[in-house]
Amino acid sequence: MIKKILNKMLGVLVLFRYGRLPIELRYYYRDTYYCQLIQLKYFFHDYIFKKPYKEISFNGEFAPELQFVLPFAYWHHENGTLKRTLSSKWSKELYFFSPEHTETFDLRTNDGNYNFEVPRILYSQNYDMRKWKPVPLKTMYANDVYKFEKPTLIIANRYNMEWDGPPISFYSKEMLEFIIHQLREKYTIVYNRPRPKNIISDNSDIYDLDEYDWLRAAYPDVILMEDLFCQNTGNANNFNHLQLLVYANAERFVSIHGGTATLASYFGGINLIYSKQGPEHHFLCYEKLYPKFSNAKIYHAKQENEFKSLLLKNF
């Protein structure tokens, strides 16, 4: 009952302040306010008593976990108030700092995104990131195994259902060919598009771009992440762990919006993100949020020609 009343009050506030925005965007404003109100009840635990008490559980999508949940947990770790964390299968390496981490969930759900116990969730108008601290994944997973003769360039692709429809933002074979032709002489290129067997499903169907055999035949100098996983020279515990190990030694990334781009933004250097549409555009995520993960230089391209121009200029 209290939650319904608060949501109605916050809905009125958002309508008054942001009434000209589409309703599907206004919900995110309301949710951010609600998350911040909930945090008030933890003031004494977080700032006065400062003993391990916080249990953080999340089974939503990969992107919001990296954007808001993981840095929230790390803040509590640094604050001395983190007790335990619970997340999806193959997440232990992300929460390496947790006193007790349990891989509880076998499925990431949309309902799990609406975890209002986190100071902000999904898309947020507020990037005054209190109780948010970037996690040093690059420092933690830097290694001597996945170092190549030339600097590493990661192509982090995806080809998934988007908003219950077909894929919208992805690197087609034609775009992959452009990237490889332009950069293969300068970089060792590692191509990464995880298949369903290697990651936890989040209710978005993963389609087949039919590019793996083509890449192996046409560009044998391009290293496939899944081949590195088969070889597993670095003794990775799972595919997510391997991504951390390989990404940690890279400074150049081209990625697609969502969890793909978020993870790539944790490792410094330059990340060029291809995103044709999404709430990220309205909330300026690529300008205000993504650089905070590691001080990476973030570029955002909405169209193919813009992407090509930014690639040639910055890589």
pLDDT in tens, 56-104: 999 999 999 999 999 999 999 999 999 999 999 999 999 999 999 999 9
The DSSP code for 151 is -
pLDDT at position 126 is 85
CA distances from 168 to 163, 273, 276, 277, 302 (A): 9, 13, 7, 8, 11
pLDDT at position 3 is 77
Distance separating alpha carbons of residues 231 and 53, to the nearest angstrom: 41
141 contacts: CB under 8 Å, gap ≥ 6 = 93, 244, 245, 247, 248
Q: Which of 29, 26, 94, 27 is nearest to 56 (CA)?
A: 94
- Three-class SS state of 95: coil
Is residue 292 over pLDDT 90? yes
pLDDT at position 165 is 87
Residue 156: phi, psi to the nearest 5?
-105, 100
Strand partners, 188: 152
pLDDT at position 184 is 96
220 contacts: CB under 8 Å, gap ≥ 6 = none
Structure tokens at 83: 């007790």
CA distances from 153 to 7, 246, 247, 250, 301 (A): 45, 10, 9, 6, 18
Is residue 1 over pLDDT 80? no
- Of all residues in the chain, the percent with pLDDT exceeding 70 is 99
pLDDT at position 265 is 98
pLDDT at position 16 is 87
pLDDT at position 5 is 82
- Of all residues in the chain, the percent with pLDDT exceeding 90 is 82
- CB half-sphere exposure, 307, CA atoms < 13 A: 24
Structure tokens at 306: 């813009």
- Three-class SS state of 86: strand
Q: Which of 30, 61, 55, 62 is nearest to 117 (CA)?
A: 55
Q: Counting every residue, how long is the chain?
A: 315
Q: Provide the pLDDT confidence category of residue 33 given band limits of 50, 70 and 90.
A: very high
Average pLDDT over residues 161-177: 92
pLDDT in tens, 112-163: 999 999 999 889 888 878 899 999 999 999 999 999 999 999 999 999 888 8
Q: Which residue has the tokens 């232990």?
A: 92
- Three-class SS state of 145: coil
pTM of the model: 0.95
- Three-class SS state of 67: helix
pLDDT at position 6 is 85
pLDDT in tens, 244-290: 999 999 999 999 999 999 999 999 999 999 999 999 999 999 999 99
Q: Provide the pLDDT confidence category of residue 12 given band limits of 50, 70 and 90.
A: confident
Q: Which residue has the tokens 């640094």?
A: 78
- Give 240-297 as a 3 state SS string: HHHHHHHHCCCCEEEEECCHHHHHHHHHCCEEEEECCCCHHHHCCHHHHCHHHHCCCE
Indicate if the alpha-carbon torsion angle 154, 62, 138, 32 is positive or negative: positive
**Strand 152-156 relative to strand 54-57: parallel, antiparallel, unpaired?**
unpaired
pLDDT at position 288 is 95
pLDDT at position 217 is 96
Per residue in 140-173, is it b (16+ CB within 10 Å) or e — as a string?
ebeeeebeeeeebbbbbbbbbebeeeebebbbee
Q: Which residue has the tokens 């905070």?
A: 292
pLDDT in tens, 189-209: 999 999 888 887 776 778 889
